[in-house]
Amino acid sequence: MLIVPEREIADLMTRDAAFDAVEKVFAAMASGDAYNFPVVREAIGHEDALYGFKGGFDQAGLTLGLKAGGYWPNNLEKRGLINHQSTVFLFDPDTGKAKAMVGGNLLTALRTAAASSVSIKHLARSDSKVIGMVGAGHQATFQLRAALEQRNFEKVIGWNYHPEMLPNIEKVANEAGLPFEAVDLPGLTEADVIISITSAFAPSVMAEHISEGTHIACMGTDTKGKQEVEAALLVKADVFTDEVAQSISIGEAQHAVAQGLIKETDVAQLGAVINGTIAGRTSDDQITLFDGTGVGLQDLAVAASVVDLAVEKGIAIEVDF
Ligand code: NAD
């Protein structure tokens, strides 16, 4: 079995490799070559932790496995560790033998950033110039950094519930040589592309804050009860997702579906757009919305890619198992 420790991931994994892995696996999911197993997520009654498994099998890429981990809210304060902790385990689909164990913390950030980037590539207007960020936490910096590679953006604007956190994304914009402007919510109408990545349980972004022709990637809602945008926006927009079952149960679409505003059949797989079996953006005034819920196959895809890179560079640790 091969081990790729968390400390090695930053030097091994690239944004390009994460993008390719996620784009391919979204396509495989839509063509029926890959499927995600039901998600397990439990409050374990210890350290206030949420722990669970996300797994799946990709028959095209021959990737089988799971990501185990979750959220330990006391880690940072008590132990100086980050609160999100995860590890990916890959298995040989021919034999069931454990194949690799890979640190999953940075990979989670990179695969989540890759998902909104893939949605921008396939759904945003090609002449998009202004990108808007809703959220300025840990994950927002990764989303913005990856998104800036998808279009010739000229300006970054941002709104955050905690405005004192906005310098986090201003720094990323400036590093890319772009100006940053903090805006109020109505100011988001200037954006051609928006990424929302917050832990909110009530919507901040209303339908009136989104201009015609905008692409919005909603990335924060990955649990029942969370919500970033007004349900009415999903009526105005054409809605795409990584996985329809997750979108309508734990994703942003859960609210619009529960309120009877849209139906499950109104939510399309981004992978089908990638495969060319359905249309993505068909006009310059259409609003497209990507509901990125985060699937296990994304984790497996980036982990498999990093194992290949680690083997290539002689960094993977081999153990008898
Ligand atoms: P973080 O704690 O670093 O940042 C949280 C962000 O949410 C901050 O911008 C904060 O200001 C904002 N926020 C907090 N309360 C809010 C409220 N009431 N209204 C509006 N905004 C509020 O967290 P993070 O690591 O950046 O993760 C952000 C979210 O993304 C989390 O909910 C996490 O579960 C989710 N996430 C999703 C995926 C996926 O695949 N879809 C992957 C990783 C993380």
Interatomic CA distance for residues 70 and 224, integer angstroms: 15
Confidence at 27, pLDDT banded by 50, 70, 90: very high
Residue ranges of domains in the chain, CATH in brackets: 2-108+297-318 (3.30.1780.10), 117-294 (3.40.50.720)
User: Which residues, judged by CB distance below 6 Å to any ligand atom, belong to the binding site of ligand 1?
Assistant: 108, 112, 135-140, 160-162, 165, 197-200, 204, 219-220, 222, 292-294
Residue nearest ligand 1's atom 2 by CA? 137
Q: Which residues are catalytic?
A: 67
Q: What is the pLDDT of residues 281-295, one digit of tens each?
A: 999 999 999 999 999
Confidence at 21, pLDDT banded by 50, 70, 90: very high
Residue 8 neighbours by CB under 8 Å, 6+ apart? 103, 310, 315
Interatomic CA distance for residues 237 and 256, integer angstroms: 12
Give the chain's mean pLDDT.
Answer: 97
CA of 1 to the centre of ligand 1 (A): 34
> Closest Cα partner for 21 from 114, 143, 97, 102?
114
- Report pLDDT for 41: 87
Of 78-82, 141-145, 165-169, 201-205, the least confident: 78-82
CA of 279 to the centre of ligand 1 (A): 30
Backbone CA torsion sign across 62, 68, 70, 72: negative
267-269, strands of its sheet edge to edge: 180-182, 155-159, 130-134, 193-196, 215-218, 288-291, 238-241, 267-269
CA of 230 to the centre of ligand 1 (A): 17
Q: What residue has token string 């079995």?
A: 1
- The tokens describing 131, both together, are 């990108």
Q: What is the pLDDT of residues 156-187, one digit of tens each?
A: 999 999 999 999 999 999 999 999 999 999 99
